[in-house]
A = this chain, B = another copy of it.
Amino acid sequence: MMNVQFKKGVLNLCVLALLDCQDRYGYELVQMISKRIEVSEGSVYTLLRRLTKEGYFETYLKESSEGPPRKYYRLTIAGQAYLQDLLAEWRTFTESVNELIGGDGKDE
């Protein structure tokens, strides 16, 4: 199956990025991410709780016609800043890795 370890930290980035466009609720995020990368519910909810505790999200409840009330997550200012940091890191990181695995055994 999909490499578990690749996901460490990246899930973080994905959730933040998805919340940058609009507020979303947990189950919705699980569905959206699962379409592209395998992820368990537990991971996403755990992450949402953690980042909320760290001040990157604010939450509010809203009732749903098709089940229990949904907890929506909204990026805080800190969350937006964190997202920008992670985005930049992700880009330079993947670039670095691609250079490393690109095959050129150059010293420089």
Q: Could you list which residues of chain A lie within 8 angstroms of chain B, going by C-beta atoms? A: 2-10, 12-14, 17-18, 20-22, 32-33, 36-37, 86-87, 89-90, 93-94, 96-97, 99-101, 103, 105
Smallest CB separation, A34 vs chain B (Å): 11
Smallest CB separation, A11 vs chain B (Å): 9
CB neighbours (8 Å) of A99 from chain B are: 36
CA distance A77 to B4 in the complex (A): 23
Kindly report which residue of chain B lies nearest to residue A86, judged by CB atoms.
Answer: B3
Kindly report which residue of chain B lies nearest to residue A5, judged by CB atoms.
Answer: B9
Is the pair A4, B9 in contact by a Cβ cutoff of 8 Å?
Answer: yes
CA distance A86 to B96 in the complex (A): 16
